[in-house]
């Protein structure tokens, strides 16, 4: 079994004169990211391997949750910065088969589209993915596979979808 965790970066700021790639987290993002990290730890969702976009807002999100992730390897991947779903899927399929739980820290709309593609038709548990994938939200997808190379559409079961607002309920 493989587990894929898709985490959208926390809320970013839009300072004047700063390129999109170098946008920092907004104060709300700085509050939400550690909360999501604590929830990841509380639910035992620790990844073996993390792949994160090189954008500043994803690096800052990861820095704020990394202490909650337990031991893992980390790779920053420029290709997933604002990537279409096909690129994100290509990166996932290239992950070593030894990795059981993979965390991708990236951007929308790519992450939302990947989650929908992998779970579409998987049953009513996929309903949370029919709406928005807000900042700092995470989707946990489980696969009955031995190798990441075999990931295709409609294979995943959505084990969890969680956003910072859902923690407030």
3-state helix, strand, coil in the chain (%, to 5): 40, 20, 40
pTM greater than the 0.75 cutoff: yes
Domain 2-167 coded CATH 3.40.50.880: no
Q: Number of C-alpha atoms within 13 angstroms, CB side, residue 33? A: 25
User: What's the pLDDT at 14?
Assistant: 94
In the chain, where are the structural domains located?
2-167
Question: pLDDT tens-digit profile of 41-72?
Answer: 999 999 999 999 999 999 999 999 999 999 99
Would you call the peptide bond into 109 cis, given omega within 30 degrees of 0 as the criterion? Answer: yes
Would you call the peptide bond into 156 cis, given omega within 30 degrees of 0 as the criterion? Answer: no
């Amino acid at each position: 079994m493989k587990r894929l965790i898709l985490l959208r970066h926390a809320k970013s700021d839009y300072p004047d004169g700063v390129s999109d790639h170098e946008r920092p987290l907004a104060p709300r993002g700085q509050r939400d990211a550690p909360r999501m990290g604590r929830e990841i730890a509380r639910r035992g969702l620790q990844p073996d391997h993390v792949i994160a976009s090189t954008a500043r807002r994803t690096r800052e999100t990861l820095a704020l949750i990394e202490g909650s992730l337990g031991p893992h390897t980390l790779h920053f991947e420029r290709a997933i910065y604002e990537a279409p779903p096909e690129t994100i899927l290509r990166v996932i399929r290239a992950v070593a088969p030894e990795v059981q739980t993979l965390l991708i820290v990236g951007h929308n709309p790519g992450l939302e589209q990947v989650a929908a593609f992998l779970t579409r038709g998987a049953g009513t548990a996929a309903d949370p993915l029919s709406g928005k994938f807000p900042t700092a939200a995470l989707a946990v997808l489980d696969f009955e596979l031995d190798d990441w190379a075999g990931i295709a559409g409609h294979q995943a079961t959505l084990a969890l979808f969680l956003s910072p607002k859902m923690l407030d309920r």
